[in-house]
Amino acid sequence: MRAYEIIAGSVGLEGLRRCDRPDPKPKAGQILVRLRAAALNFRDLLMVRGIYSAGGQKQAVVPLSDGAGEVVAVGAGVTRFRVGDRVAGTFFRGWIAGPPPQPQVALGAPPIDGVLAESAVFDQEDAVHLPAHLSFEAAATLPCAAVTAWHALMVIGRVQPGDTVLLLGTGGVSVFALQFARLAGARVLMTSSSDDKLARARAMGAAEGVNYRATPEWQQEVLRLTGGRGVDHIVEVGGSGTLGRSIQAIGSGGRIYLIGVLSGVAADANPYALMSKYASIHGVFVGSRAMFEKMNAAISVNALEPVIDRVFTFDEAVAAYRHLEHGGHFGKVVIRI
């Protein structure tokens, strides 16, 4: 089968290469999936740069955690799926429900090959059915970014009508969070360096947008927009470069969901303001299969459509990585297989 792999020791996109691999075959309890689309996350840039895992990548691996396709064969004892079912794999292997297993093993990072290939084998417990109305391209965006946003706002935060949610940027997690927060009846504020992107966010239901280049002290504008109260929820995808401002922008009893490291991992934010606000920071790392399935039910009932910035062909996979790296996207970057 055709595939891409990141070679051991990769430190940049030159380490992503086309390859041919043997066609996989399902064993007992497994399903063989003919993949039709895959989607990129910021994690995938870190992997190809060799900085996702401590000490760099020690072995070649097929990248990407987010993919969708149809079941073309099943192993002995499979009961959850049949040939022809449309499915996506879960980000973590073996996290069905409840607390995550330790250690956590993720799809698309050594030693587990990912979905930037024509076919993949999943354990039947590590896959979900797709919402019927979604294309493969749209469904491929769900396993990481969408589940992460759902976990933060709907599972941990239990966002309620009238809550105020602050979202940083307009990448995949933030745009899904906008959609889920609006379904819950929340007021959404968003930041971006682009007025055009903020206009698109408003068209999707965001109440206010703050250009953080025009307003570097954006937390002060967030406080102004909330009458000095601050917000109830912040989906924090920036990391060390934004966490300090998020702590200033959070309101009494609010929650910051620490998800991303787009601006770095050095910890220089002062957490003491959280005490007087009775606020908290909660780490979020994707989610379980049960969360994925509950989210898919909500997507189906509301006919929600993921926002895709651009779809690349399989031969354009490196260009897709470069497009994500450039940072001009709104929503998800997808590769059709």
How confident is the model at residue 273, as a pLDDT? 85
* Residue 162 in domain: yes
Q: Is 137 in the same domain as 181?
A: no
pLDDT band at 263 (very low <50, low <70, confident <90, very high): very low
Question: How confident is the prediction for the chain on average, in pLDDT?
Answer: 94
How confident is the model at residue 252, as a pLDDT? 97
Query: Per-residue pLDDT tens for 84-121?
Result: 999 999 999 999 999 999 999 999 998 999 999 999 99
Query: Per-residue pLDDT tens for 180-201?
Result: 999 999 999 999 999 999 999 9
Domain coverage including residue 202: 146-283
CA 268 to CA 284: how far, in whole Å?
A: 20
CA 64 to CA 226: how far, in whole Å?
A: 39
Q: Is 189 in the same domain as 93?
A: no
Per-residue pLDDT for 230 more than 80?
Answer: yes
pLDDT band at 320 (very low <50, low <70, confident <90, very high): very high
Per-residue pLDDT for 266 more than 70?
Answer: no
SS (HEC) of 142-177: HHHHHHHHHHHHHHHCCCCCCCEEEEECCCHHHHHH
- If one counts the domains in the chain, the total is 2
Q: Is 80 in the same domain as 127?
A: yes
Q: H helices of 92-135, where?
A: none
pLDDT band at 269 (very low <50, low <70, confident <90, very high): low
CA 194 to CA 169: how far, in whole Å?
A: 9
Q: Is 81 in the same domain as 19?
A: yes
Query: Per-residue pLDDT tens for 126-140?
Result: 999 999 999 999 999
